[in-house]
Amino acid sequence: MLKEEVRNHWEKETCGTRYGSAENRRLYFDEMSAARYTLEPYIQAFADFPAGTGRSVLEIGVGAGADFLNWCIHAEHATGVDLTQAAIDLTRERLILNSVPPSGYSLLVADAEDLPFDDGVFDVVYSWGALHHTPDTERSVAEAFRVLRPGGTIKVDGLSRAVLDRSLSIPQIRPSPGASSCVTQRADWSASGKPWYQGLPTSRDRRAITPSRLLWHLSVHTARAQRSAPRGAQ
């Protein structure tokens, strides 16, 4: 089964761990963070971690926890999920080493295609470099919108244009009138006078998988509740 192959791959090597080598565990995690934000310097601008202040944040695909630590620093409460136990264990270790209060976060193994949360429970839903690894990426995007509160913000990286078009054509997850959105590398790019996601430029800094499958970033600030189909009906 494809999903089990994906799970097994990341259980063996959590994303980013190849960049850490120090025996001291705190330094080991610091090395991974330094490499992440050096190799992908646009992550911090896209995520805008301080914007999570006082809000409930969900990160889908925590990996080794570099971004999740930043969400925990700012958010009222941060929830992190990953398909693998290895990622959850590493992220928890990172938070403990950084003295993050356990009351400020929750971590659990979960499938992005079937999130174990009620509708509309998070102010921010964030995922960097994770959803394109799951077999049914469109369903994972729909799930991300499903758990988003009215007026919430969703930030997702790594979607191919084909997946983006298919996902955003689903009525249940199409942003309501008045929503602001962008599909690009940087979170502050916006489109005016165009359909809300069509015709927007691809990120110049992201590598093309094939000429027809560029990776895109999606950032949407919703205007009101996203009405989703009942679970299991999508």
What is the residue-wise DSSP string for 138-192?
Answer: HHHHHHHHHTEEEEEEEEEEEEEHHHHHHHHTSGGGSPPTT-EEEESSSTT----
What is the pLDDT at residue 137? 86
d(CA 31, CA 44): 16
Asked if 172 contacts 226 with a C-beta cutoff of 8 angstroms, the reply is yes
pLDDT surpassing 50 at residue 118: yes
In a domain, 171, yes or no: no
Q: Which residues form the domain of 77?
A: 2-156
Q: Of the segments 12-26, 52-66, 136-150, which one has the largest average pLDDT value?
A: 52-66
In a domain, 142, yes or no: yes
Confidence of residue 168 (pLDDT cuts 50, 70, 90): low
Domain harbouring 135, CATH code: 3.40.50.150
In a domain, 192, yes or no: no
In a domain, 70, yes or no: yes
What values do phi and psi take at 198, rounded to 5?
-80, 145
* Residues β-bridged to residue 221: 153, 180
What is the pLDDT at residue 41? 87
Domain count, the chain: 1
E strand or H helix at 35, and its extent? helix 25-39
